[in-house]
Structure 1
Amino acid sequence: MSLARQLFQEEIELTILMPCLNEAETLAICVDKARSFLEKSRVVGEVIVADNGSTDGSQSIAEKHGARVVHVENRGYGSALLGGINAARGRYIIMGDADDSYDFTALDGFVEKLREGYDLVMGNRFKGGIKPGAMPPLHRYLGNPVLSGIGRLFFKSPAGDFHCGLRGFNKDSILRLSLETPGMEFASEMVVKATLHQLNITEVPSTLSPDGRSRPPHLRSWRDGWRHLKFLLMYSPRWLFLIPGIILFAIGVICTAILALGSITISKVTFDINTMLYAAMVTILGVELMCFSIFSKLYCVLAGIMPTTNSINRILRKFSVEKGVLAGATLFLLGLVGSVWALAAWGAESFGNLIPGTVMRITIPSLTLVIVGVQTIFSSFLFGVISLKKGTGTRQDG
Structure 2
Amino acid sequence: MPDREDVCVLIPTLNEAETIGEVIDGFREQGFSNVLVVDGNSDDGTRDVATEHGARVIEQSGVGKGQAVREGLEHIEAEYVLMLDGDGTYKPSDAETMLEPLDDGYEHVIGNRFAGMNDGSMPRLNHFGNRVINRAFSIIHRSDFKDILSGYRAFTRKSAERSYLTSDGFGVETELAVECVKHSVPTAVVPIQYEERPDDSETNLHPLWDGGDIIMTLYQLAKTNNPLFYFGSMGMLSGLIGVILGVYVAVEWVTRHISHEVIAVVAGISIIFGLQLLMFGVLSDLIVTLHREQMRRIDERR
TM-score category by the smaller chain?
0.7 to 0.9
Superposed CA offset, 1:222-278 (max 9, x none):
11011011111112243343134146548957996x999x979xxxx9698869986
| CA displacement at 1:282 relative to structure 2 | 4.3
Give yes or no for contact 1:102–1:208 (8 Å, CA) kept in 2. yes
Partner SS for 2:43: coil
2:117 corresponds to 1:130: yes
Partner SS for 2:30: helix
- The corresponding residue for 1:221 is 207
- The corresponding residue for 1:326 is none
Superposed CA offset, 1:111-142 (max 9, x none):
11111121211111112x221221110011x2
| CA displacement at 1:100 relative to structure 2 | 0.5
Give yes or no for contact 1:249–1:284 (8 Å, CA) kept in 2. no
Q: Tell me how far apart the structure 1 counterparts of residues 59 and 8 of structure 2 sit (CA, whole Å).
A: 16
Among 49, 69, 91, the residue aligned to 2:57: 69
| CA displacement at 1:18 relative to structure 2 | 0.7
Query: Residues 282 and 263 of structure 1: is their aligned pair in 2 closer, same or farther, counting only changes over 3 Å?
Result: closer
2:23 corresponds to 1:30: yes
Q: Tell me how far apart the structure 1 counterparts of residues 30 and 275 of structure 2 sit (CA, whole Å).
A: 52
Q: Tell me how far apart the structure 2 counterparts of residues 99 and 132 of structure 1 sit (CA, whole Å).
A: 17
Partner SS for 2:92: coil
- The corresponding residue for 2:288 is 309
2:75 corresponds to 1:87: yes
Among 173, 179, 182, the residue aligned to 1:187: 173
Partner SS for 1:135: coil
| CA displacement at 1:281 relative to structure 2 | 3.9
2:235 corresponds to 1:245: yes
Q: Tell me how far apart the structure 2 counterparts of residues 100 and 84 of structure 1 sit (CA, whole Å).
A: 20
2:98 corresponds to 1:105: no
| CA displacement at 1:148 relative to structure 2 | 1.1
- The corresponding residue for 1:55 is 43
Partner AA of 2:20 in structure 1:
L
Q: Tell me how far apart the structure 2 counterparts of residues 209 and 191 of structure 1 sit (CA, whole Å).
A: 23
- The corresponding residue for 1:208 is 194
| CA displacement at 1:311 relative to structure 2 | 6.8
Q: Tell me how far apart the structure 2 counterparts of residues 76 and 259 of structure 1 sit (CA, whole Å).
A: 47
Partner AA of 1:232 in structure 2:
L
Q: Tell me how far apart the structure 1 counterparts of residues 237 and 199 of structure 2 sit (CA, whole Å).
A: 48
Q: Tell me how far apart the structure 2 counterparts of residues 253 and 56 of structure 1 sit (CA, whole Å).
A: 57
Give yes or no for contact 1:158–1:202 (8 Å, CA) kept in 2. no
The structure with higher relative contact order (CA 8 Å, sep 6+) is: 2
TM-score w.r.t. the length of structure 2 is 0.81
Q: Tell me how far apart the structure 1 counterparts of residues 41 and 78 of structure 2 sit (CA, whole Å).
A: 24
Alignment of 1:306-345 (within 5 A): 309-310=288-289
Superposed CA offset, 1:57-91 (max 9, x none):
22222122111112221011111111112212321
Partner AA of 1:242 in structure 2:
G
| CA displacement at 1:38 relative to structure 2 | 2.4
Give yes or no for contact 2:80–2:155 (8 Å, CA) kept in 1. yes
- Structure 2 stretches lacking a partner, 5+ long: 293-302
Superposed CA offset, 1:144-165 (max 9, x none):
0001111111001231111111
TM-score w.r.t. the length of structure 1 is 0.63
- Structure 1 stretches lacking a partner, 5+ long: 1-9, 40-44, 314-398
Give yes or no for contact 1:144–1:163 (8 Å, CA) kept in 2. yes
| CA displacement at 1:291 relative to structure 2 | 4.4
| CA displacement at 1:167 relative to structure 2 | 1.1
| CA displacement at 1:13 relative to structure 2 | 1.4
Query: Residues 92 and 213 of structure 1: is their aligned pair in 2 closer, same or farther, counting only changes over 3 Å?
Result: farther
- The corresponding residue for 1:319 is none
Among 9, 20, 37, the residue aligned to 2:13: 20
Partner AA of 2:49 in structure 1:
I
Q: Tell me how far apart the structure 2 counterparts of residues 228 and 297 of structure 1 sit (CA, whole Å).
A: 26
Query: Residues 263 and 25 of structure 1: is their aligned pair in 2 closer, same or farther, counting only changes over 3 Å?
Result: closer
- The corresponding residue for 2:217 is 231
Q: Tell me how far apart the structure 1 counterparts of residues 270 and 73 of structure 2 sit (CA, whole Å).
A: 44
Query: Residues 35 and 274 of structure 1: is their aligned pair in 2 closer, same or farther, counting only changes over 3 Å?
Result: farther
Partner AA of 2:76 in structure 1:
A
Partner AA of 1:107 in structure 2:
A
Query: Residues 278 and 173 of structure 1: is their aligned pair in 2 closer, same or farther, counting only changes over 3 Å?
Result: same
Larger mean Cα displacement after TM superposition, 233-242 or 60-69? 233-242
Count matched residues.
284
Give yes or no for contact 2:19–2:201 (8 Å, CA) kept in 1. no
Q: Tell me how far apart the structure 1 counterparts of residues 34 and 124 of structure 2 sit (CA, whole Å).
A: 35
Larger Rg over CA atoms: 1
Give yes or no for contact 1:25–1:213 (8 Å, CA) kept in 2. no
Q: Tell me how far apart the structure 1 counterparts of residues 248 and 11 of structure 2 sit (CA, whole Å).
A: 62
- Identity, in percent, stands at 28
Query: Residues 79 and 247 of structure 1: is their aligned pair in 2 closer, same or farther, counting only changes over 3 Å?
Result: closer
